[in-house]
Amino acid sequence: MTTDAVPPGVDPTIPSAGRLYDYYLGGTEHFEVDRRAAELVRMAAPELEDAAWANRGFLQRSAKWLAAEAGIRQFIDIGAGLPTRNNTHEAAQAGASDVRTVYFDNDPMVIAHARSLIVDTPHTIFLSGDLRDPDAILNDPALRDHLDLSQPVALMLVAVCHFIADEDDPQRLIGRYMSEFASGSYLALSHGTTEKTSPVIAEQVREIYEKATEQLHLRSKAEIANLFTGLELVSPYDGAEPGLTHIGLWGADDPEAADSDGSRWAFCGVARKP
């Protein structure tokens, strides 16, 4: 990408968490500064590319399950990132064709490209919003026009909460969102972890993200579980007890085969609001 393609509000001299993720997934919406940062990440932790794909698989399998098995017809995806194939709305519509989806992101490059790609996509809109400002998102007139919040929704927070600092209190933020939603709503969340990672490598990756638009806050399994407080976690795959699992395993036909090094960089879960 050249500077001629830089949307207003985008600084091409600072790595972007969203563009780094796009690079890991083989996308094209990134700059030289992103590629350099991503290659440093790759040298420190080559399995993070696998982690990105495992996370993408969790998003797709959970969205389809929520539509096909849980009967959810309304999705809110916050921190959606740059569009790639089989996004939330496509995965969910594979489970039920009448699904309605609202995406939010605070990155102007994401917003510019996403809106151009969904112009002719039914039941799907992309809005500007920051996870850390739930009142602005929940009261956005376009969201309220597109969805009926008196009916269950699925809140998709996929690989976004590890960019929320402790002082912004991700548990409080999630609680605020879920308090607005009807009983029978769901939260699908994935979050980077330090549990199965060398502390030295985790610190190297964190330091690379210190120079990016969003900083990385990896958390323990117990801290990630706290983000589901008040919700009922579902079983992540056949034969498993309800709870968290690594991102490659959720919804996997063969969890043992899906248990890769990359998958262990994050925990995920899907939970229902009673």
Domain ranges, ordered by start, for the chain: 3-272
Q: Which parts of the chain register pLDDT below 50?
A: 1-4
Query: pLDDT at position 244, please?
Result: 98
Query: pLDDT at position 12, please?
Result: 86
Query: pLDDT at position 83, please?
Result: 65
Backbone angles phi, psi at 155, to 5 degrees: -95, 120
Query: pLDDT at position 122, please?
Result: 85
Q: What pLDDT digit, counting tens, does each position of 153-165 carry? A: 999 999 999 999 9
Query: pLDDT at position 114, please?
Result: 77
pTM for this prediction: 0.94
Query: If you classify domain 3-272 with CATH, what class do you get?
Result: alpha beta
